């Protein structure tokens, strides 16, 4: 998995995120992402995201 990802930030509109953490859980892989510009962050667990729509 890449350390960068293209995703439009719901806070500032920037389209770049960095992976800040990743770990294996019994539910799947938990990954934390953070916006390059404003620091907005969200978590994904096995493809399910907490990011604002």
Evaluate if pTM is beyond 0.75: yes
Provide, rounded to the nearest whole percent, the portion of the chain with pLDDT above 70. Answer: 98
Domain for residue 28, yes or no? yes
Domain for residue 53, yes or no? no
Q: How confident is the model at residue 50 (pLDDT cuts 50, 70, 90)?
A: very high
| Count of structural domains within the chain | 1
Domain that includes residue 12, residue range: 4-46
Q: Which pLDDT belongs to residue 1?
A: 62
Domain for residue 34, yes or no? yes
Domain for residue 23, yes or no? yes
Domain for residue 32, yes or no? yes
Buried b (16+ CB within 10 A) or exposed e, 3-32: eeeeeebeeeeeeebeeeeeeeeeeeeebb
pLDDT digits 0-9 by tens, 20-44: 999 999 989 999 999 999 999 999 9
Domain for residue 39, yes or no? yes
């Amino acid at each position: 998995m890449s350390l960068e990802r293209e995703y439009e930030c719901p806070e500032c509109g920037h389209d770049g995120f960095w992976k800040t953490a990743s770990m294996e859980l019994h539910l799947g892989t938990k990954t934390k992402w953070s916006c390059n510009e404003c620091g907005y962050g969200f978590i994904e667990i096995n493809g399910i995201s907490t990011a604002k729509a």
